[in-house]
Structure 1
């Protein structure tokens, strides 16, 4: 890459999907580190509240109410950045729409809405950023997913959209590099992140949705994004488990399929019926929530991600950390399966012991 990126405290950073989850964590962290931010989302109340929060804390922020699936709205984001700050240095395409359900149970209309946000919205943002940054230099950071590399059952449409994101991002990077443009293009691929993702998703399963472990904090992704805003990087996995599963899918695809089918399907369902609240397919849901309501362990850091971004380890060692993450994940699943089996056996024994001998 030919980009010479500024320190974050000298940057103007555009963030889409800034009203919750990863986008919200990134906005807050960027301003804490001195960046000026242009916030974009569909929820004006949330954007206004966040802007007031940042400015009252001594930061600089402005906002744009925008639906990234509308190219004119995306152009307005860029215009606002130019009018307010004279331009921008980093553009973060983070806005996303979420779906759960088997492909055959998911309406095509919902899939189309998801692609309009996840693919077309990111494409519009990337091209708008490219048009400006080719002459000024800077970074385009696209938020993909582990699902950019490894499809996840029950999130098939989401996986397809994130595969498209990877293909577009990789192509844009190569074309800009061939031109010698001073633009860094990074794809960030998080594992499961403790955000309101399941709550905001439109759910076509019978059960309430959740995310499979290991789960990382949204601040872990924000740190990775902001590191890429200062240091050109091709792509970065957030979480060693994400790297490990991607590597397993590349080297042992059938085994990865089996793990997905046997482990990831049940781990995306809770033992209670789904609720039909607001979802971000049908409308805006941003209300300044960074975190979800997971009752599982959430990792606040990722040693793998930090090592890979600082390049303090050799590529072999970094890959080893990723595989270690996968091994720990597999051990977690084995132990959990043993615990569940023990609990079922204990319940069976309690049931048998409660029945009078004459009735057995």
Structure 2
């Protein structure tokens, strides 16, 4: 019997991309998955896509940047299920830009989406997870561990998410709640290579590319979703893909200068070119 069979999961940002891929893998293994997103039509279409699978997909429209919406979600889920086994904080946004040219409003926007949504949902749903010794998964990025040039506030917020996840892991360990940070490289998507076109003024061409030009193969979202769920079953503390990125992170901790050099070396544009 699959580990996730008859378990209850909540996935934010579940109407498309990695969130939908995680929901698909869970429903395929017999889980009941609450799909959360802001756009009702897209969310309903995502749930409809999963109806032929063994589990159940329940779309609940909500804006997780809203305290009231998250409180409403918590009440509804507690009423329906009594608790949950998995919370996936997948909502997030990325951008391109130079830090000194980025408006403070853009920092606030990414802070809200990339950090506060996770904090808000964890605080709301942790009591429903504790009784089941469940899982919290925060979707970070390679930028949670190592910054790159020209990605605006993204690394700033993803580093913060990493710190939140680590402290949360330490504080919830005695309650038996598993907390994991996922740090993937660029994820394959239809608009890769042109999604930042409107932000490319005064930026080099490589900033347009996935990972801001870091030479990495795009990850398949379904494979990534499977790896995330398997790592949950093993109660791993983090998941970094591709694995070789760990080498860069370890080097950068020992020598920031060498880490910066390696970051530039494996980007499309190298210093001095």
Alpha-carbon displacement from aligned partner over 1:241-281 (angstroms, at most 9, x marks no partner): 322321232233212212334653649xxxxxxxxxxxxxx
The Cα shift of 1:203 comes to: 4.8
Residues 82, 128 of structure 2: 8 Å contact kept: no
Q: Which residue of 2 aligns with 1:171?
A: 167
The Cα shift of 1:197 comes to: 6.5
Structure 1: distance between partners of 2:196 and 2:177 = 33
Deviates more, 1:72-81 or 1:26-35: 72-81
SS at match of 2:258: helix
175, 180, 184: which is aligned to 1:190?
A: 184
Return closer, same or farther for 1:153/1:11 CA change in 2, 3 Å cut-off.
same
12, 16, 24: which is aligned to 2:12?
A: 16
For residues 91-102 of structure 1, the aligned pairs below 5 Å read 91-102=87-98
Alpha-carbon displacement from aligned partner over 1:66-115 (angstroms, at most 9, x marks no partner): 22221222223333333443431100001101111111222211121111
Alpha-carbon displacement from aligned partner over 1:110-164 (angstroms, at most 9, x marks no partner): 1211110101001111212212222332111111111111111111411010100
Residues 1:259 and 2:253 aligned together:
no
SS at match of 1:119: helix
Deviates more, 1:66-75 or 1:37-46: 66-75
Structure 1: distance between partners of 2:40 and 2:197 = 21
Residues 1:228 and 2:231 aligned together:
yes
Moved over 6 A (4+): none
Return closer, same or farther for 1:72/1:197 CA change in 2, 3 Å cut-off.
farther
Structure 2: distance between partners of 1:197 and 1:46 = 20
Structure 2: distance between partners of 1:95 and 1:202 = 22
SS at match of 2:55: coil
Q: Which residue of 1 aligns with 2:200?
A: 205
**TM-score normalised per structure 1:** 0.67
Structure 2: distance between partners of 1:79 and 1:198 = 41
Return closer, same or farther for 1:251/1:187 CA change in 2, 3 Å cut-off.
same
Return closer, same or farther for 1:33/1:198 CA change in 2, 3 Å cut-off.
farther
| Greater RCO, 1 or 2 (C-alpha within 8 Å, sep 6+) | 1
Structure 1 residue runs of 5 or longer lacking an equivalent are 1-5, 268-340, 342-360
The Cα shift of 1:14 comes to: 0.6
Structure 2 residue runs of 5 or longer lacking an equivalent are none
Bigger radius of gyration, 1 or 2? 1
Return closer, same or farther for 1:31/1:66 CA change in 2, 3 Å cut-off.
same
How many equivalent pairs are there?
261
Residues 40, 77 of structure 1: 8 Å contact kept: no
Return closer, same or farther for 1:10/1:228 CA change in 2, 3 Å cut-off.
farther
Alpha-carbon displacement from aligned partner over 1:191-210 (angstroms, at most 9, x marks no partner): 22213576555853235722
Residues 21, 225 of structure 2: 8 Å contact kept: yes
